[in-house]
Every structure is written in structure tokens, then in C-alpha cells.
Amino acid sequence: MKRLPPLNWLRAFESSARHLSFTHAATELNLTQAAVSQQVKGLESQLGTALFKRLPRGIELTEAGLAYLPVVHEAIERLAAATDEIFGQGHLKIVTVRVSLVFFTHWLSWRLPDFRQRYPNVNLRITSNIWGGDSSVTDVEADLEIRYGHGKWTGLRAERLTWDTLLPVCAPGLPSPNAPLSSPKDLAHHELLHVLGYEEGWGYWLKRAGASKIDSSKGMQFDTLISALKFAELGQGVALARSSLVEHMLVSGQLIAPLKPRLPTSEAFYLVYSQHSIVNPHAAAFVAWLSAQAQEAHARH
């Protein structure tokens, strides 16, 4: 691969060619006229061709210089535009957050208006997932990520956002005289709605509730709690919920939680990020805001 000239030499050439003046180029680049002239000479020496005609009253481009200028100008313009787009002030105003879909739907979405009110100049880009991967790095397009697990991801910081209990939930109209829900053993007469991926599912809850004789494998299976909660809301069975995700549905009466015990979970939702992400001050503002929201919600319970 042919060795490229140093970028500062190319910038000196491009500016001098536009102005047809080493002096004006020096002013634009915040250099001395001698420095610009020396950088242009270095470029010409590496290329083995004169790019300017040095005249008694200024400079002119040679044929080689005229041919080279459009290429160098376009390359510098594209590099400047890409640098500004990726690393400039416009970039700082966009914070990309990759969010567990159920967490966004049932926890984050109705708190976000507060962030928008406090930080109107910060633009958020929300991308969703169902389950966080096992990778030791976050999504390349995300500044921050919200994952469910035990809070241990190699090379990443993890701030806990939820302190949940497991509780069976269902539609208010599901329990009936013929199929009550007054004790865990009554679940034998109801459809269990399972969510794949959670370590602590129906088998875990039934055993701890003293109802291990109930077949915990029966019932429908879903890949996200969103689907299970919706089916429960429609009166089609009993879902095993995480308390932080159904708080608003219990308050509104969309769901009820007729059974005990409510068991503390070992897993939780975490805000996950690499240390360099917080170099972006807008990302740092979101981290501080979200942590405060999580602590406030935890303090209420």
C-alpha cells in the first residue's frame, strides 16, 4: 500500500490552493507562513512533483496541483463531516440506550417524560431488546444498556435499578367460585403463563410456596413478560410477575395479586455501560437521572 502524506501537509496544500496564498492559509490554519510553506514543500518532495508555481507576486497551481486539489478537498471535507457527525456536538446530544423491551414498556416509558422535562436539549435514541446477551461489551451503537441478570458482566459497570419480588398476577375477573385463587394450591385449576429465560420461574415459586405437587410445566410459554402480562390481563391465566413491572397495573386495577408469598428475586434489571460511555456528558446525565429514579422507587417499597 502506497504511503499517504501526513494530514497536516494535505491541509496546508488544500488551504493554500483555495486561497492561492501561503499567508492566508497560515491565518486559516493558525500557523506561520513559513510553517505552511515548509509543509507544502514536504508534500511536494514526497510526491516528487511541484504543486505550485512560485511567482514574484503570489503562487499558482501547476497542472499536477490542479488535478490533485479536488481529490484532497473532497477527502478533507468528508473527514471533517464524519468527525463532526460521530464525535462533534451533534453526537453529544444523542444518547442511545438499548433497553430490555419489558422494562421499557412497564417501567421506563412512563418515567421518561420527567427526563425530557429536565433535559430538553438531550435527544434519546431508544433501541429495544428482549434478553441482554452474554457479551462482555454493550451493543456498538448503544451508549448505555439495560439488562436483566445478576449484575456481573466482564469489563462493564452495572448499576442496579430494581429490587423485585415474584408475585402471581391475573385479571380481576379470573378467580371464581368454581375456580378460586385463595391459596397457591388453587393454581392447579388455572393456566400458568410462563416466561422463558428467567431463572426463577413457576417451578421455583411453587416449591417455595408449598405447592410443589402442582405440575409447573403446564401452561403457555412466552419469550417476554410483556406477552404473558397481556394474556393475564385478558383473563387467560396467571403470570408470575416482577413487582417493579406491574406496580402501575395493580394500582390501576388491570391486574390483581391474590396470592402469597411474594418472594424476593436474585435477578434484577441493571443499567450497564463501559466507563468511556460516561465521557459523553449527556450520557452521564441520563445515568444520574435513572439511578435517582431507581433509588426513589426502591425507597417507596
Q: What is the pTM of this model?
A: 0.68
CATH of the domain at 41: 1.10.10.10
The total number of structural domains that make up the chain? 3
Asked if residue 103 and residue 186 are part of one domain, the reply reads no
278 and 141 within one domain: yes
Q: Are strands 238-242 and 220-222 parallel, antiparallel or unpaired?
A: unpaired
Q: Before 261, cis peptide (omega within 30)?
A: yes
Q: Are 53 and 189 contained in the same domain?
A: no
One digit per residue, the tens of pLDDT, for the chain of length 301 reads 468 899 999 999 999 999 999 999 999 999 999 999 999 999 999 999 999 999 988 899 999 999 999 999 999 999 988 777 667 665 566 889 999 899 999 999 999 999 999 999 898 999 987 655 444 334 447 889 999 999 998 888 999 999 999 999 999 999 999 999 999 999 999 999 999 988 899 999 999 999 999 999 889 999 999 999 999 999 999 999 999 999 999 999 999 999 999 999 999 999 999 877 676 788 889 999 999 999 999 988 7
Identify the CA nearest to 6 among candidates 46, 33, 36.
46
- Does residue 193 share a domain with residue 114? no
Specify whether the CB–CB gap between 69 and 211 falls below 8 A. Answer: no
| Domain that includes residue 16, residue range | 7-87
